[in-house]
Amino acid sequence: MRSQPGLGNDATWWVLVVLGAVSLASLAAEFIPQIDKNPSELGLVIGALLVGLVILIFLVSLFDRTKVRKEPGQK
C-alpha cells in the first residue's frame, strides 16, 4: 500500500470533524438568541453556518482523497 500526502490519519480526521461540529454548534448557540431581538440578523447566521458547513465538507473531501489506497492487484 502507498500513502498519499494529506490528512491520512483517522485520529486527526475525527478531531477536525468534532471541532468543526462544535464550532458550528457554538456559533448557532450564540447567535440564535440574538435573532429574537433582531430578526434581520437571521441571514448572517444562516450564512455563517453555511460557510462552516462548506468548510467541513471540504475537509471531508480532502480526507477522502488522501486516504491510504491499495495498489491495483493488491488484496
Would you list the domain boundaries of the chain? Answer: 10-65
27-63 CB burial, b ≥16 within 10 A, e <16: eeeebeeeeeeeeeeeeebeebeeebeeebeebeeeb
Q: What percent of the chain has pLDDT over 70?
A: 63
**pLDDT computed for residue 74 by the predictor:** 60
| Cα dist from 63 to 5, 37, 42, 44, 69, whole Å | 10, 40, 32, 29, 12
**pLDDT computed for residue 28 by the predictor:** 73
Please state the pTM of the whole predicted model.
Answer: 0.46
